[in-house]
Chains A and B, each alone.
Chain A
Amino acid sequence: MSEKQVSYSEVTDTVLNIIKPAGAGWYAQLIICISLAALGGYCWARMMIWGLGEAAITHPIMWGVFITNFVFWVGIAHSGTLISAVLYLFRARFRQPIYRLAEAMTVFAVMTAGLFPFIHVGRPWLAYWCMPYPNQRALWPNFKSPLVWDVFAISTYFTISSIFFMVGLFPDIAVARDKATTWFRKTLYSITSLGWSGSNKQYKNYAAAYLLFAALATPLVVSVHSVVSWDFAMSLVPGWHATIFPPYFVAGAIFSGVAMVITLIIPLRRVFKLHNLVTEFHFDAMCKLILLTSNIVAYAYITEFYVAWFSNNDFERYQFWFRPFGDFKVAFWGMVFCNCIAPQALWFKKLRSNITFLFIMSIIINIGMWLERFNIIFTSLSREFIPAAWGNYNFSWIDVGITLGSFGWFGMWMTLFIKFFPSIAIVEVKEIIHPPKRHAEEH
C-alpha cells in the first residue's frame, strides 16, 4: 500500500464500502454456497441412514475421501495464522491488508475440517467419544496416540485462531459501529465491538496482548500440521512412516493456504475496488512465499523417493513405484504438475504482476494440494504389506457430494463474513499511515 496517498477516512470508507447492503451478486453467491452445503448435508444424512458404505469407504482405503478433505482443509487453515501471527512478529509490511481475510479463512477452514472426523465416524452423535475426557466413561483415552494429540492440536488451533481473529476484529467493528446507519447493524456492532472506544490505554494493553497472542500462535503454525502429519508418520504404513512428514506438511499447508488467500482476495479486490489497499506489492510478496514453499514441497517429494530407494526396503520401494506408475498415477502426475512445475512460472515478475494469471495459478495449486493428500492416503492404504490385502477405491456420488458440500459450507461462512464484518483490518492499515500533523517537523 502506498500509505502517503491514502488518508484515514479513505481507508475507513473503502473498507466499509464492502459491508454496505448486498447486491444481487452477493445473494447469488450465497445461494450457490448454501445449495452446495445442502447437497453435502443431504449426502451426509443419507450416509447416516444407510451406513458408510454409501460413501464407497471400504477396506483397505478406510480413510477415503473424508480424511483427504480433512487434511486439505486443515492445510488451508494453516496460512491464516502464518500471515496474522508470524508476519506480525516479523513486522512484514505486506501483512496488514490481507491478514483479516486470511484469519477468517483459517477459522472457517478449521470449522470445515472439523466436520470430517464427525462425518467419518459414521455415527456423529457418538463423535464426542473422540474427545479425550478423563476416564469417567471408561474410554481410557490413550495419550500416547497421535490421534489423541490431533484432537488436542486441532481444538487448540481452532480456539486460539478464533480468539485471535475476534480480538483483531474488536477495533474494526467499533469503526463499523460508529458508521452504521441501520438499527440492526448498529446493535450488532455495538454488541460485538464490546464497546471498544480506541483510547490510548485500550490500544496499549491491546497491542501488548496481541503481541503475546502472536507469540502463542506462532508455534501453533508449526505444531498443528506437524501433529496432523504424525497421524500418518507414527504408523508403519509404507509411504507414511517418514520423519520428513512434519516439515513437508507444514510447508505444504502454507503453500496451499497462501494460494487460497489469493483465490479469495482477487475477486474481493476487483468487486469492491480495493486496488489502493491491496496492491501488486502484496501479491508479489505472497507469490514469493508460494514459490518458496512450492520448492520445499518439491524437494520433499524428491527426498521421499530417494529415501525409499536408499532404505532398501521392498515395501517402501514398491510404494514409490506404485505412486507414479500405479492405479493412481494420474493423481500423482497432476500433483507434480500443480505443486512443483506450474508454480515455477512465478519466478517471472511479469507473471507475478498478472492478477488473472495469479487467480488461475492459485486454483491450480489448491487442486494440486488436494491431490497431494489424495496421493498420500489412497496410494499408501491401497498397497500395504500383504498383496492379499491390496485394493482400490470406487468413488461414489456421496464422496463427491460431501466434498462439494465442504466447499459450499466454507464459502457460505466466507460470504456472510465479507458482508457483515470488515474483511480488511482498518485500524492496522491506518497504523502504517503517517498520522496527519500540522507541523511535521515539531514532533
Chain B
Amino acid sequence: MRGEKVVTGVYTYLDDAMRAIDVAKSKNLDFKTYSPTYVHEFDEYANDKRSNARFFTGIGAITGLISGFTLAIMCALDYPMRVSAKDLVAPPAYIVIGYECTILFGGLCTLLSILVLCGVPNIFKKPGYDPRFSDDKFGVVIACDPKSVDEISDAVRATGADEVLVNDTL
C-alpha cells in the first residue's frame, strides 16, 4: 500500500464502512477492505477490475487437452502394433483421456490463479488486519503519510467506526 502509515477503521455496520471508502476515495488515498465474507457492495465502491482467473483456467484447459491427446497418440505411435486393418491411432477412444487432462490441467491452473491473484501464501504482510474481521466486523484500511494520520483518523471515526487503529505499513 502507498504510504508509511495505515489507519484502520473497525466497523459493525457495512454502510458505515462504505462511507470510510468514500473518505479514502475523496482524498485519493490507497485503501483496502476486509470483511467476514464476500461483500459485493465493496466491489462497486472499490472499482476493482474483473478477475483474470479465467485466463489461467483457459490456458490450463487447452494445455491439458493437447497433452492428453498427445500422450495417447505418441504412445500408440511408439509401439506400432497394428491389429487387423485398424488404424494405429484411434482418436475417439482418446477423447476420454483428452477430456480428463483438460479438467485436470484446468483445475491445477485455477489453483495457481488463486495463489497468484489472491497473493497467498502470505502469512506476515497484512497491513492493518485485525482478527475481528474474520468474525463479525468490517475493516477499512487507509494508507497515508505520517503527517495526515490524525486527519484521516478523525475522518474515519466520523463515519461511525467502532474503533480506529493506526499502524505502520509493513
Contacts and interface: CB of A to CB of B under 8 A. Distances in A.
Interface in A192-232: 194-209, 212-213, 216-217, 219-220, 223, 227
B66 interface: no
A438 B118 contact: no
B97 A198 contact: no
A159 B75 contact: no
A205 B74 CA distance: 37
A227 B52 CA distance: 32
Contacts of B12: 436, 438
A202 B36 contact: no
A202 B122 CA distance: 12
B107 A7 contact: no
B114 A12 contact: no
A436 B107 contact: no
B57 A197 contact: no
A400 interface: no
Given A204-B48, A436-B14, A8 B136 contact: yes
A143 B97 contact: yes
A77 to B, nearest CB: 16
Contacts of B15: 437-440, 442-443
Interface string B114-131: 110111111111100101
Contacts of A198: 34-37, 133-134
Interface in B48-80: 48, 50-54, 56-57, 61, 71-72, 74-76, 78-79
Interface stretch (A167-175, A252-260, A273-281, A282-290): A167-175
Given A195-B123, A213-B107, A437-B15, A143 B76 contact: yes
Contacts of B51: 204-205, 207-209
B38 A12 contact: no
A194 B117 CA distance: 13
Contacts of A220: 103
B106 interface: yes
A132 B67 CA distance: 13
Interface in A417-443: 427-428, 430-431, 433, 435-440, 442-443
A191 B122 CA distance: 9
Contact of B43 (A143, A190, A200): A200
Interface SS of A by simple majority: helix
Contact-size category for B? 35 or more
Contacts of A153: 96, 100
A443 B61 CA distance: 40
Contacts of A132: 71, 75
A408 B42 CA distance: 46
Interface string A132-161: 101100001101100011001101100110
B90 interface: yes
B36 A212 contact: no
Given A143-B75, A198-B133, A208 B54 contact: yes
B160 A178 contact: no
A59 interface: no
A424 to B, nearest CB: 13
A208 B53 contact: yes
A167 B111 CA distance: 8
B110 interface: yes
B113 interface: yes
B110 A135 contact: no
B34 A212 contact: no
Contacts of B79: 135, 140
Interface string B74-111: 11101101000000001001101101110110111011
B110 A8 contact: no
A156 B135 contact: no
Contacts of B132: 178
B54 A219 contact: no
B153 interface: no
Contact of A199 (B33, B103, B104): B33
Given A200-B39, A427-B37, A143 B94 contact: yes
Given A143-B72, A443-B14, A152 B100 contact: yes
A431 B14 CA distance: 13
B18 interface: yes
Contact of B33 (A174, A200, A213): A200
Nearest to A439: B15
Contacts of B94: 143-144
B126 A9 contact: no
B165 interface: no
A31 interface: no
Given A204-B43, A207-B51, A209-B111, 9 more contacts: A132-B75, A135-B78, A174-B134, A195-B120, A197-B122, A200-B48, A207-B38, A209-B110, A436-B14
Interface of A: 7-9, 12, 132, 134-135, 140-141, 143-144, 148-149, 152-153, 155-156, 159-160, 163-164, 167, 170-171, 174-175, 177-179, 190-191, 194-209, 212-213, 216-217, 219-220, 223, 227, 427-428, 430-431, 433, 435-440, 442-443
15 contacts: A8-B136, A135-B75, A135-B78, A160-B103, A163-B107, A195-B122, A195-B124, A198-B37, A205-B53, A205-B114, A205-B118, A219-B99, A435-B14, A435-B41, A442-B15
The 3 closest A-B pairs by CB, nearest first: A208-B51, A178-B131, A8-B136
